[in-house]
Amino acid sequence: MFGYEKGAFTGAQSRVQGKVEYAHTGTIFLDEIGELPASLQVKLLRFLQEKVIQRVGGREDIVVDARVVSATNIDIVKAIRDGAFREDLYYRTAVINLHLPPLRERGSDIMLLANLFLRRFCEGLNRKVKGFSTAAADQLHAYEWPGNVRELENRVQRAVIMSDSPLLDSSDLGFDEAPPPLRSTTVEKMTLKDARDRVEFDMITAVLKTQGGNIAKASEELGVSRPTMYDLMKKHGLGA
């Protein structure tokens, strides 16, 4: 992260600039900052306070002017209580905090991301998968997503590789036949748009099931035209 001087250790045959030094007049992104070992936390704190660094094996103070953006998926406050993360470093890095909700709390974003990954993998792997079955879309909405977006991406990629069907089904995505428990998202955590989308999705999937997938009859029961029904199914990633 901070580079090293020639001869600083065995194998250091030339001077190497670190990532922080390369970020001078720019931005450096520190992913999983909560996993930094204590020794690096001390050096990072000095850089943030004094805007200078020293390469390993060097004595020269190097001025670095860079914007620092960091991210973590651990509870930093708990890590501070446990002695795993420095409190003074936390206050140096937490000038502006942005909380990104986990995938299970992001409502209609789940299908938007699933369809994005589907298109990406179909193009990259030259596969002709058109979308998700009603059951698969229902599972995607209901699942808790402990692995967050990376898990969704992995499941879709694997399904695209393994499936020979034009529509991905629950089994293609690695879900059990029995539907998983509904997500625990409460009304307080949902936006009005999320609530509307959820009700819309639930009604469409329920009617499609009762009508055996017959789109004409489902459209009639819901009181919408067939073109509107197709648009709604496309919006929610439901295969026609």
Read off the CATH number of the domain in which 202 is found. Answer: 1.10.8.60
Q: Does the structure show a pLDDT above 90 at 33?
A: yes
- Domain tally for the chain? 2
Last residue of a domain, one of 58, 93, 128: 93
Exposure of 50 in the CB half-sphere (CA atoms within 13 A) = 12
Question: Is 172 a member of any domain?
Answer: yes
Q: What's the pTM?
A: 0.57
> Where is pLDDT greater, at 186 or 53?
53
- Residues 173-178 have a mean pLDDT of 69
Residue-level pLDDT at 189: 59
Cα–Cα distance for residue pair 58/71, rounded to 1 Å: 29
For residues 68 and 127, membership in a common domain is answered with: no
Which of 115-124, 218-227, 231-240 is most confident? 115-124
Q: Does the structure show a pLDDT above 50 at 163?
A: yes
Question: Is 13 a member of any domain?
Answer: no
For residues 118 and 231, membership in a common domain is answered with: yes
Question: Is 2 a member of any domain?
Answer: no
Compute the chain's Rg from CA coordinates.
25
- Look at residues 195, 101, 183, 203 and name the one whose alpha carbon lies nearest to residue 149: 101
Question: Is 1 a member of any domain?
Answer: no
Q: Does the structure show a pLDDT above 60 at 120?
A: yes
Range of the domain at 37: 19-93
For residues 181 and 126, membership in a common domain is answered with: yes
For residues 184 and 220, membership in a common domain is answered with: yes
Residue-level pLDDT at 147: 85
Q: Within 10 Å of residue 156's Cβ, how many Cβ atoms?
A: 26
**Helices 134-142 and 192-210 sit at what angle, rounded to 10 degrees?**
140
Residue-level pLDDT at 224: 80
For residues 168 and 230, membership in a common domain is answered with: yes
Res. 182 pLDDT band, cuts 50 70 90: very low
Cα–Cα distance for residue pair 170/185, rounded to 1 Å: 22
